[in-house]
A and B are shown apart, each in its own frame.
Chain A
Amino acid sequence: EAQVTQNPRYLITVTGKKLTVTCSQNMNHEYMSWYRQDPGLGLRQIYYSMNVEVTDKGDVPEGYKVSRKEKRNFPLILESPSPNQTSLYFCATQGGFYNEQFFGPGTRLTVL
């Protein structure tokens, strides 16, 4: 079954404690993205990757890091989380530029 998985699904943490949200896809897609969703602001792209070892900043990259060492995985790293990073995070994958994006189930992060 084609799928995008994220872990953890829910996380409550404290300011400054480094965390990683994993994203994995089994669709052999080259394009992967991370978004955050906040009420009234829609989905905002954090980082995207068009291929292994290629990553680019989206609209709201500050405070986040990513890596793409292999095609199937695209982890999101918060080195020093702050309360303004409390949000719902989605990973997504896309088979080509003009194809559907498939979203993961989401990770709800709360930073105290």
Chain B
Amino acid sequence: GENVEQHPSTLSVQEGDSAVIKCTYSDSASNYFPWYKQELGKRPQLIIDIRSNVGEKKDQRIAVTLNKTAKHFSLHITETQPEDSAVYFCAAFSGNTGKLIFGQGTTLQVKP
């Protein structure tokens, strides 16, 4: 079945450094790729998303890149801050099936 692989599972960086999280999906029909941030004890919230007809999208310190040929997309966070510490989930949505498949999550720790 369809799946999304996310790496790394944990990531620790110093404040001010960059963080990169990578995901690979299997369903060729996937055409929408959101990223969610989940703080401890809270619900996931969307931070950025990208559609399949776009290769890159940026929102302040956050950017997402998509390589449809390789079925690969990544989240880039620059100038990390302690409040960026959370679990981040990538996901792939198939317009054919209506399914949204999430990656396993990456726990990001930003050290002051």
Q: Chain A, interface size: which category?
A: 20 to 34
Complex partner residue of A44 from B6, B49, B98, B102, CB under 8 angstroms: B102
Chain B residues with CB under 8 Å of A104's CB are: 43
Contact among B9, B43, B97 with A106 in the assembled complex (CB-CB below 8 Å): B43
Interface residues of B, count at CB 8 A: 26
Report A59-101 CB contacts with B as 1/0, cut-off 8 Å: 1000000000000000000000000000000100000011011
A72 to B36, CA, bound (A): 23
Instruction: Determine if A105 and B43 form an interchain contact, defined as CB atoms under 8 angstroms apart.
Output: yes
Q: What is the bound-complex CA distance between A50 and B102, given in angstroms?
A: 18
- Report B30-80 residues with CB < 8 Å from chain A CB: 31-32, 34, 36, 43-46, 49, 51
Whether A45 sits at the interface, judged by CB under 8 Å, is yes
- Expressed in whole angstroms, the Cα–Cα distance for A88 and B63 within the complex equals 29
A-B contact count (CB 8 A): 60
What secondary structure prevails in chain A residues at the interface with B? strand
Residues of A within 8 A of B6 (CB): 42
Complex contact B103–A42 (CB within 8 A)? yes
Closest A residue by C-beta to B4? A42
In the complex, the answer to whether A45 meets B46 with C-beta atoms within 8 Å is: no
Beyond A42-B104, A43-B89, A59-B1, whether A97 also contacts B98 by CB under 8 A is yes
Instruction: List residues of A (35-55) whose CB comes within 8 Å of B's CBs.
Output: 35, 40-45, 48, 50
A42, A44, A100, A105: the one within 8 Å of B34 (CB): A100
Taking a contact as CB atoms under 8 Å apart, the answer to whether B32 and A59 are in contact is no
Residues of chain A within 8 A (CB-CB) of B25 are none
Task: Give 1 or 0 for each of B1-32: 1 = CB within 8 Å of chain A CB.
Answer: 10000100100000000000000000000011
Interface residues of B (CB under 8 A from A): 1, 6, 9, 31-32, 34, 36, 43-46, 49, 51, 89, 91, 93, 95, 97-105
Ranked 7 nearest A-B pairs via Cβ: A103-B43, A43-B102, A42-B104, A100-B46, A42-B102, A98-B32, A42-B105
**A positions within 8 Å CB-CB of B:** 31, 33, 35, 40-45, 48, 50, 56, 58-59, 90, 97-98, 100-101, 103-106
